[in-house]
């Protein structure tokens, strides 16, 4: 029961995608081309995210740590 309404909802979402991007109007080979292009772009973006996001986060974390860390040292010296 839940699966059926879920399936209907996903089908409705797919229809919306088709209507918004005008792929409803395309001939089958154009649709294939369009979807292939979209899927390839999506896969590339996800792959890039998978590789680079952890490195970026750890670099950013270290940068902020260094920033706040050096401030801490400065305040200590002035107090002294």
Residue 52 to residue 27: CA distance in whole angstroms: 37
Task: Give the nearest distance from C-beta 24 to another protein in angstroms.
Answer: 5
Instruction: Tell me the CA end-to-end span of the chain in Å, nearest whole number.
Output: 71
Contact between 12 and another protein (CB under 8 A)? yes
Contact between 14 and another protein (CB under 8 A)? no
Residue 42 to residue 40: CA distance in whole angstroms: 5
Contact between 26 and another protein (CB under 8 A)? yes
Stretch that binds another protein, among 17-25, 48-56, 59-67, 72-80 (CB under 8 A): 17-25
Contact between 39 and another protein (CB under 8 A)? no
Residue 27 is given by DSSP the state -
Residues that bind another protein (CB under 8 A): 12, 15-16, 18-27, 30, 34
């Amino acid at each position: 029961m839940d699966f059926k309404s879920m399936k209907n909802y996903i089908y409705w979402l797919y229809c919306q995608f088709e209507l918004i991007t005008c792929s409803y109007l395309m001939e089958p080979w154009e649709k294939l081309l369009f979807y292939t292009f979209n899927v390839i772009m999506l896969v590339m973006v996800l792959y890039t995210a998978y590789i680079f996001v952890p490195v970026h986060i750890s670099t950013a974390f270290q940068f902020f740590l260094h920033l706040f860390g050096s401030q801490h040292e400065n305040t200590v010296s002035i107090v002294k």
